[in-house]
Amino acid sequence: MSRVGKKPVTVPQGVKIAVEGQNISVEGPLGKLSQWFNPNVNVAFDSSAGTINVSRANTSREAAAMHGLYRALIQNMVDGVTKGYEKKLEIFGTGYLFAVAGKKLQVRAGFAHEVEREVPQGLTVACPDQTHVSIKGIDKQLVGEFAAEVRAIRKAEPYLGKGIKYEGEVIRRKESKAAAKK
């Protein structure tokens, strides 16, 4: 039995839950999210206790796999519409910088051209300075996916540390071949 799936999702005040067929929608102060769930999983909202319970519809292997997954997805939706999610990225290197122009994120990362990424609907991107960018939104998956796309433009390399990394990420540094010969 899934340990994650057994825990009920507590719903804070001001969050509205609607379970209709195989869809669940969560509406809170920051916005509205909806999610389809597998027929092998039952989702029940107890309005008196303020909890959402996820259970298996049968004893199949697929139901066991989906049990904890959908409970975690629903928890992420509730957290997203109440608190939201944020990822911060840093860029290191001479001439490397971030800039926001309208709905596009511009990245200069050592290429001959400037790389532009269209900001997805539902996300807000801000640059407090030229070397940092903040990606905010209510959908955890969308925030993480866009942050990973931006980081993949030029990952931080281990010799000089130049490139894009998550704020607080530690890059293991390597010695160059010239340093090893001495």
In a domain, 150, yes or no: yes
Q: How far apart are the first and last CA of the chain?
A: 58
What's the average model confidence in pLDDT over 22-26?
94
> Could you tell me if 97 and 108 are in contact, meaning their C-beta atoms sit under 8 angstroms apart?
yes
In a domain, 69, yes or no: yes
Is 58 exposed, middle or buried (CB count within 10 Å of its CB: 0-12, 13-18, 19+)? exposed
Q: What is the pLDDT of residue 132?
A: 95
In a domain, 20, yes or no: yes
Domain containing residue 130 = 85-166
Q: What is the pLDDT of residue 106?
A: 95
Q: What is the pLDDT of residues 164-181, one digit of tens each?
A: 999 999 999 888 887 767
Identify whether residues 26 and 76 lie together within a single domain. Answer: yes
- Count of domains forming the chain: 2
Identify whether residues 116 and 140 lie together within a single domain. Answer: yes
* pTM for this model (two decimals): 0.89
Identify whether residues 111 and 137 lie together within a single domain. Answer: yes
Q: What is the pLDDT of residue 113?
A: 93
Residue 35 belongs to domain with CATH number: 3.90.930.12
**What is the rounded CA–CA span in Å between residue 151 and residue 144?**
10
Identify whether residues 100 and 76 lie together within a single domain. Answer: no
Identify whether residues 93 and 50 lie together within a single domain. Answer: no
Q: What is the pLDDT of residues 85-133, one digit of tens each?
A: 999 999 999 999 999 998 999 999 989 999 999 999 999 999 999 999 9
Q: What is the pLDDT of residues 73-82, one digit of tens each?
A: 999 999 999 9
In a domain, 129, yes or no: yes
The pLDDT confidence band at residue 182, using thresholds 50, 70 and 90, is low
132 bridge partner residues: 90, 129
- Summary mean pLDDT of the chain: 92
Identify whether residues 77 and 112 lie together within a single domain. Answer: no
Identify whether residues 110 and 140 lie together within a single domain. Answer: yes
Identify whether residues 134 and 116 lie together within a single domain. Answer: yes
Q: What is the pLDDT of residues 142-154, one digit of tens each?
A: 999 999 999 999 9
Q: Which structure tokens are listed for 6?
A: 């057994």
CA distances from 19 to 9, 27, 98, 100, 106 (A): 14, 12, 41, 38, 40
